[in-house]
Structure 1
């Protein structure tokens, strides 16, 4: 059986391109859940210098296959099974969020439920002008399961996160950019190229320093400004032992700004 997700390294082995291809609508079901879990495990083990998440088809995802994922649990009123499944989803989102390298998500068409939650777990979201987003779990009496609510609140505030989730509406890319939920909006025909270029640029950069940036921001989310301040010196100080920093300093002295080549070490 063909996996609903493939991982390619393309011409640059430093960048992993993760493509969801589960037609017709890339709905989240047990097969996709298993595949995504396996891909995240692969990324954790192989540790590329960057990853791009994207999807094939007219939409990123039309949402969840309710019959496959939630209906049996709901029909049985099985709180323990529901709690276990949500715990798996939250952990999966957190694992993506904590990957120690830059992650970019490319959104086109509908990007609903799990797909938007996965996007929010990534570092940067690039959206096509025609893309639209929604966490529509309320329409079936649920709330988002992969950490999307809280990550959306981190990006644009609790009020907007409540409005977004409780109304179960669909919101366009331009509005999401104004809110701060989406980082960049590009013309539809430029999405794939723009997202790949951004992800490749990040992967070619000082990825150990990028990992430090992510760790500091995680400290801010964990314990606020005081915690982040307390941990910053220890996190950033380790960069002085990296070959990338030494090479970039030498390059700066010899050639000037912006000419360093980084190797992720």
Structure 2
């Protein structure tokens, strides 16, 4: 039996592929595969991560049988473990990209929101539809959606349970880039590979500054910037890029070593 989630690599780029036909549902096997993959990536971070899916849909969300089988006495621990997957994905020091070519519901959308960047086809649809089973998103999707689009939009999307096209979510600031369906897989791979070829220490620093802002506002981010900048000044990548810029201009092709 094939795993529901595959982790492959293309040089510096790690690729997570949902492949559990026909709907890429989040059942226990899918969650276990995600937990194992994120644990592996955390232990040995790549230069960037691309998440994509095989099949007609990205994911139809949580397998409803999970709700039927959950022991109420164990529910808090169960959902804390699922939330930890999103938190660990979010905490990776490298850029992470979630690519949605079509329908992306509940748990898959929540994991997309834990990534740095979301890219999609304009007609791809997203939804947090837990209200249909009298539930609420429990892998961090609501609060991360509020962080991207504001609390009012988060309330709207979760309370209505409606589906929203990627073109609309791009206007809200939730989706970062739109690519046409033709050649989508190649375009998003190139998008992610461009990030993987970038300066890893600088990328990690950017993520730290953004996290400081999310956690503590401008003042917390400001306090972090001077030591972060000082650490980057001491890196080989920074010195090599500055020298290349001075000799070859802004389109220089420096290879970054991550040190």
How big is the shift at 1:130?
2.2
1:170-220 Cα offsets, whole Å, 9 max, x none, are: 011111111111011111113211211110000001121011000000001
Q: Does 1:194 align with 2:187?
A: yes
Q: Distance in 2 between matches of 1:56 and 1:38?
A: 19
Q: Is 2:45 the partner of 1:50?
A: no
Counterpart position of 1:6: 6
Q: 1:112–1:135: 8 Å Cα contact kept in structure 2?
A: yes
1-structure distance, mates of 2:154, 2:49: 26
Partner of 2:21: 23
Find the aligned partners of 1:235 and 1:102 in 2 and give their Cα distance.
Answer: 17
- Asked whether the equivalents of residues 121 and 151 of structure 1 are also in contact (C-alpha less than 8 Å), the reply is yes
Q: TM-score, normalised by structure 2?
A: 0.96
Map 1:78-227 onto structure 2 (within 5 A): 78=72, 80-227=73-220
Deviation at 1:3, TM superposition (A): 1.3
CA RMSD of aligned residues (A): 1.1
**Residue 39 of structure 2 corresponds to residue 41 of structure 1:** yes
Distance in 2 separating the partners of 1:208 and 1:169: 40
CA distance in 2, matches of 1:115, 1:236: 35
Tell me what 2:258 maps to. 264
In structure 2, C-alpha distance between the alignment counterparts of 1:163 and 1:138, rounded to whole Å = 12
Partner Cα separation in structure 1 for residue 183 and residue 177 of structure 2: 12
Deviation at 1:232, TM superposition (A): 1.3
Q: Which runs of 4+ in 1 moved over 4 A?
A: none
Q: State the partner residue of 1:235.
A: 228
String of CA shifts for 1:111-161, please: whole Å, max 9, x gaps: 000111111111111101220000001110111111111110011100000
Q: CA deviation at 1:256?
A: 2.0
Q: TM-score, normalised by structure 1?
A: 0.94
Query: What is the aligned partner in structure 2 of residue 72 from structure 1?
Result: 69
Asked if structure 2 preserves the Cα contact closer than 8 Å seen for 1:4 and 1:20, the reply is: yes
Task: Indicate conservation of the 8 Å contact 1:126/1:191, yes or no.
Answer: no
Task: Output one character per residue of 1:228-264: Cα deviation in whole Å (capped at 9) or x when no partner.
Answer: 1111112222112211111111212222223122222
Query: How far is the alpha carbon of 1:16 from its aligned partner?
Result: 0.7
Unaligned 5+ runs, structure 2: none
